[in-house]
Structure 1
Amino acid sequence: MADRKLDDIDRRILAALQADGRMTAQQLADRVGLSPSPCARRVRLLEEAGVVKGYVAVIDQAKVGLPISVFASVKLERQREDDLDRFSQAVARWPEVVDCYLMTGQRDYLLRIVVSDLESYERFIKDKLTRLDGVASIESSFALGQVKRSHALPILQPSYKRTD
């Protein structure tokens, strides 16, 4: 599977799983137009190839007492490989950081940090982020509201790759 492209059925399976990862094998097979056995085999191959990385429950962050999302832009003093690795390893250990991207442009990283209140964010900044060697600056932006959040990739959308 790693060296072959996804076909239309694979894409339909992935789209269906993104919409409802808890559906039964029979429901999935019905939705994509296969019998259960070949459908289950395709799902297993997608999992083994790492295309399907896992299954999760999507939690409402406000309903579990974590209503605040902060986007922090972080600039490092140096962008050497060991500095980038050290930062990435630290961020991976911090549960408050739910998303982290290595960026181009003025900042090195963009983090989405989820906390219960402003005091929790202040503690995170003071106790964790500013204590990490190599952090030159941090700019925080607080989300006022969420307009869109999706966990689904546009699997069934047309490809935008060049064909020439």
Structure 2
Amino acid sequence: MPTIDRLDAEILRLLTNDARAGVAEMAETLSVSRNTVQLRMSRLVDSGVLKGFRPVIDLAAVGMPVQALVSVGLDQRMLSSIVRGLADLPEVLEVKIQAGSEDILVHVAIASLEALQELTASIVAIEGVRKTTSTFSVATPVPFRVQPLLSKLTEQSGWGRSTPGVLDG
């Protein structure tokens, strides 16, 4: 199981705040060598902790102002084909298999409530889907984040062999 220390968490914080941050800039901010940051980033990628660098897109700005969570009840024997069917729908942002009263939770973005009705009809048309229930997102006061968790996990760890710098947060 990969483990991270406080320096790793700080590098991830800087990347979360600005995925385009340069290695030299991060090294200066953290008061460590450029080589240390580069090696740490390589280790984070190689160990699977850091999965990639992605832009944050404002879906409303591209014409998809409505987001919803669609719970899907299904025939468990059809799970793989249902997931493939959901992946074929462009409005589907994410699919999570869950334990509970519903089997799958689907995060979708749509242009309107009417578009949601059409999308849920497309979901129900996938063979093996039994029912859907939609919940609308009206605001996201806490967007997806991992930094507070990483900070908590590493609050008792050091910075490895690196010399800690002055942290700004």
Is the TM value for this pair above 0.5? Answer: yes
CA distance, structure 1, for counterparts of residue 45 and residue 110 of structure 2: 32
Residue 95 (1) aligns with residue 121 (2) = no
Q: Aligned residue for 2:106?
A: 111
Q: Aligned residue for 1:134?
A: 128
Alignment of structure 1 residues 144-159 onto 2, 5 Å: 144-153=138-147, 154-158=149-153
CA-atom RMSD in angstroms: 1.8
The answer on whether the counterparts of 1:16 and 1:31 sit within 8 Å (CA) in structure 2 is no
Comparing 14-23 and 148-157, the one that deviates more = 148-157
Spell out, residue by residue over 1:43-84, the C-alpha distance to the aligned partner (whole angstroms, 9 max, x if none). 1221122211111111111111110011111101x323xx22
**TM-score when scaled to structure 2?**
0.81
The answer on whether the counterparts of 1:25 and 1:39 sit within 8 Å (CA) in structure 2 is yes
Q: How far does residue 4 in structure 1 lie from its aligned partner after superposition? A: 4.7
SS at match of 1:119: helix
Q: How far does residue 158 in structure 1 lie from its aligned partner after superposition? A: 3.5
Q: Aligned residue for 2:161?
A: none
CA distance, structure 1, for counterparts of residue 138 and residue 8 of structure 2: 38
Unaligned runs of 5+ in 2: 155-169
Higher relative contact order (CA 8 A, sep 6+): 2
Q: How far does residue 156 in structure 1 lie from its aligned partner after superposition? A: 0.9
Partner amino acid, structure 1, of 2:108: I
The answer on whether the counterparts of 1:67 and 1:114 sit within 8 Å (CA) in structure 2 is yes
Q: How far does residue 152 in structure 1 lie from its aligned partner after superposition? A: 3.7
Partner amino acid, structure 2, of 1:12: E
SS at match of 1:75: strand
Q: Aligned residue for 1:46?
A: 44
How many correspondences in the alignment? 153
Partner amino acid, structure 2, of 1:103: Q
**TM-score when scaled to structure 1?**
0.83
Divergent runs of 4+, >3 A: none
The answer on whether the counterparts of 2:120 and 2:132 sit within 8 Å (CA) in structure 1 is no
Q: Aligned residue for 2:81?
A: 86
Using the aligned pairs only, state the percent identity.
27
Unaligned runs of 5+ in 1: 160-164
